[in-house]
Structure 1
Amino acid sequence: MTGFSFRQILQYQGLFVQGMEITLLLAGIAAFFGVIIGVLGAVGVRWGPRPLRWIIRIYVELIRNTPGLIQLFIVFFVLPSFGLRLPPLQAAAIAFSIYFGAYAIEIIRAGLDSIPRSQIEAGQCLGITRWQIFRHVIFMPALRNIYPSFTSQLVLLFLGTSIASQISAEELFYMGSFVESRTYRSFEVYALICAIYLVSVLILKVIFALGGRILFRWPAQH
């Protein structure tokens, strides 16, 4: 079969749409629970007791210094040995949440550490409540400081969902591989998948940029 033709590929557009929906779902679930893990972990590292800080640091180092694919395989293939068998989509969601949570902890912790102690003390001297100090003096400035790196990590999370195809989670890359096995149009299929990922990432970057402008309207301090 010679020449390039996308006609056969477009007959499977429903599968690509379904795969994209699963990809967005996986990324959204992992981002949601990863942020929760990140916030709790960063607070634990910053203000928790020493044993808790050590546990969190071990978790962060273990996850950040091992391949995400191995973590995914452990959740999907190893946990059944202990009586916990999960469908591919749920296993991928758990693995990605754990993976993203480790990076979120470090990013959020860095944001908290970027707030000078003098600013917190100044808020206390003004007599504002702890909640107001957290919201206006700690949270929003810290969020502004970490926003670029945090959104970049979200983009990497979105792209990283492609490895879920290795456990037959029906995300975009898995659907593309299925179509390729039926049409034998490898170039066309993977070129289309690359284009979908590229357009999606560009859209995400625009959304994040607009979100940053809306959230952080005050001038940055120098």
Structure 2
Amino acid sequence: MNYEFDFSFLGEYGQDLWDGTLLTLWMTAVSIIPGFVVGTACAVGRLYGPPWVRKAATVYVEAIRNTPLVIQVFWLFFGLAVLSVRIDAFYAAVIALVINVGAYTAEIMRAGFESIPKGQIEAASCLALSRWQSLLYVQLPQAVERVYPALVSQFILMMLATSIMSQISAPELTGVAYQIQAFTFRGFEVYLVIAVIYLAVVTLLRAILTGLGKVIFPRRRRLGTPL
């Protein structure tokens, strides 16, 4: 084996890699909160909504969870273009991520709501709290606390899923790697560097979300419960 490793492309394309990494992080950041809101709303709808809301939420969750993310973003970016509805690659990527993570978050949050003892809901009712007050002040905080580790894992998976957005020419990290590899023909080195960057980004994101969890849920910190 006479292959010679060459990472000299980092000098020429380092800024492109940095820009791609920042776009990946930005795409993740602007998708997490809307995805959580969509997922939580669907979980509440499936548990407490009228029949038509439950059915609509179930159809949404099952449809998204049982189709590939790449098909969803293709439909938004290429499919809607046939109907003269054109969406920028970045916005198509963010919308697809929000829709996708919302469906998975819905099931995580539903499990969190269902894990809350019925006695606490009855106690809230005895204190004259309305259903929405009980949901907002009693059930939601506990549900999020109980499933927070699963939410963190799901959001990290969403960050890694941004790599799919290179298929619609979104210039995130993997999209930049495709371009560099095409110019340099150094596929092994390029994708090795990209893997290292993804590992660093995942470590950073997990540290941020774990630290946020320790601030939001001091009881878990006192008890030493893993976040």
TM-score by length of 2: 0.90
The residue aligned with 2:52 is 51
**What runs of 5+ residues in structure 1 fail to find an aligned partner?**
none
> Per-residue displacement from partner, 1:162-202 (whole Å, max 9, x unpaired)?
00001100000001111111111111110010000001111
Range with greater deviation from structure 2 (28-37 or 139-148): 28-37
> Per-residue displacement from partner, 1:120-142 (whole Å, max 9, x unpaired)?
212333x2644764455312211
The residue aligned with 2:124 is 123
Give 1:135-174 correspondences, 5 Å limit: 135-174=136-175
The residue aligned with 1:105 is 106
The whole-number CA distance in structure 1 between the counterparts of 2:33 and 2:136 is: 20
Q: Give the number of aligned pairs.
A: 219
Q: State the one-letter code of the partner of 2:14.
A: Q
Aligned-residue offset at 1:76: 0.9
The whole-number CA distance in structure 2 between the counterparts of 1:42 and 1:36 is: 10
Aligned-residue offset at 1:47: 1.5
Q: State the one-letter code of the partner of 2:48.
A: W
> Per-residue displacement from partner, 1:7-44 (whole Å, max 9, x unpaired)?
22232111011111111121122222211211221121
Q: State the one-letter code of the partner of 2:6.
A: S
1:179 maps onto 2:180 in alignment: yes
The residue aligned with 1:208 is 209
The whole-number CA distance in structure 1 between the counterparts of 2:80 and 2:133 is: 43
Quick one: structure 1 residues 87 and 121, their matched pair in 2 at CA, closer, same or farther if it must change by over 3 Å? same
The whole-number CA distance in structure 1 between the counterparts of 2:190 and 2:128 is: 58
Range with greater deviation from structure 2 (68-77 or 30-39): 30-39
Report % sequence identity.
Answer: 39
**What runs of 5+ residues in structure 2 fail to find an aligned partner?**
none
The residue aligned with 1:197 is 198
Asked if the contact 1:23/1:171 (under 8 Å) is kept, the reply is yes
Asked if the contact 1:9/1:179 (under 8 Å) is kept, the reply is no
Asked if the contact 1:173/1:193 (under 8 Å) is kept, the reply is yes
Range with greater deviation from structure 2 (1-10 or 62-71): 1-10
Asked if the contact 1:108/1:146 (under 8 Å) is kept, the reply is yes
SS for the counterpart of 1:181 is helix
Range with greater deviation from structure 2 (138-147 or 116-125): 116-125
